[in-house]
Amino acid sequence: MAHAGLNQTAPPTPSADLALLVSTELELDERLNQARERARITVESAYVDAGARSQAEERALTEASERSKAEVEVERDKRTREVLAEGERQAARFDTVPDAKVALLAEVVVNRLLHGVGE
């Protein structure tokens, strides 16, 4: 007969079961620690990315605000020049009025102010 006992496996012993259990637990602990570290790195990276995006958006808003202020300043200066030019045109119409007529009109206005309109 051939060696019939060589093909059979021996049942595990309690110490072998305990060693396998401890080994499995250590392996699972290591995997859990690695997963926690990867999660920590991912979260940290997300915070860094979010901070960078926030700073970039803040810079973009600041630049847009500064551009808007500059545009308003340019428009205000343009409108001021337009108003001053119109005022000068309006005032120029009175430059051709003779001094004697200006004096007479001034006298009429003063008299009306001092004595009322109907007098």
Annotate 66-104 with DSSP letters as a single string.
HHHHHHHHHHHHHHHHHHHHHHHHHHHHHHTS-HHHHHH
The predicted pLDDT at position 62 comes to 97
3-state percent helix, strand, coil for the chain, nearest multiple of 5: 85, 0, 15
Its domain, for residue 45, covers 17-115
Q: What angle do CA 8, 25, 22 make, to 5 degrees?
A: 55
Position 9 in a domain: no
Position 1 in a domain: no
Express each pLDDT in 10-36 by its tens digit. Answer: 666 778 888 899 999 999 999 999 999
Q: What angle do CA 25, 31, 33 make, to 5 degrees?
A: 100
Position 10 in a domain: no
The predicted pLDDT at position 54 comes to 97
Cα dihedral angle (85, 90, 91, 97), rounded to 10 degrees?
A: 150
The predicted pLDDT at position 12 comes to 66
Position 72 in a domain: yes
The predicted pLDDT at position 15 comes to 82
Express each pLDDT in 45-102 by its tens digit. Answer: 999 999 999 999 999 999 999 999 999 999 999 999 999 999 999 988 888 888 888 8
Position 8 in a domain: no
